[in-house]
Structure 1
Amino acid sequence: MEPDRSKEKIAAMSPIENITPPSLEFSEPVAQDYEHAKQLEVQSTERRYQKMIDEVEDYAIIMLDVNGIVQNWNKGAQKIKGYCEEEILGKHFSVFYPKEDQQRGLPERLIGQAATQGKAIHEGWRVRKDGTSFWGSVVITAMHDNDGSIIGFSKVTRDLTERKMAEQQILKYTQQLESQNKELQKFAFAAAHDMKEPLRKIQLYNSMVLEAEDLMLSTRQKDYLLRSADAAKRMQGLIDDMLSFTKVSEQSIAFENVNLQDVVEELTTFFADTLEETGGKIVASNLPGIYGIPFQVRQLLENLIGNSLKYHRKGVPPEIVVTAGVESILNPSTGRQDSILLLTVADNGIGFDQHYAMKIFEMFERLHTRDEYPGTGIGLAICRKIVENHRGTIQAISKPGEGAVFNIYLPA
Structure 2
Amino acid sequence: MPDAEFFDESGRPRGFGGVRTGWNTAEQALRESEERFRLLVQSVVDYAIFMLDPAGRIASWNAGAQRIKGYAAEEAIGRHFSVFYPPEDVASGKPGRELETAVVEGRLEDEGWRVRKDGTRFWANVVITALFDESGRLRGFGKVTRDMTERRTAERALDERGRLLSHLVHAQELERRRIAWNVHDDTIQSMVAVGMRLQLMADRLPGEHAAAMRRLNDAVDASITRLRGLTFRLHPPGIDRGGLVEGLSGYLDQVSGEAGLTYELQHDLVREPSPEAAIMIFRICQEALVNVGKHARAKAVTVSLTSADHGVLVRVADDGVGIDRPLDALSPSEHFGLIDMRERAETAGGWWRIHGRPGAGTTVEFWVPALAYGEEGIPL
TM-score normalised per structure 1: 0.36
Larger Rg: 1
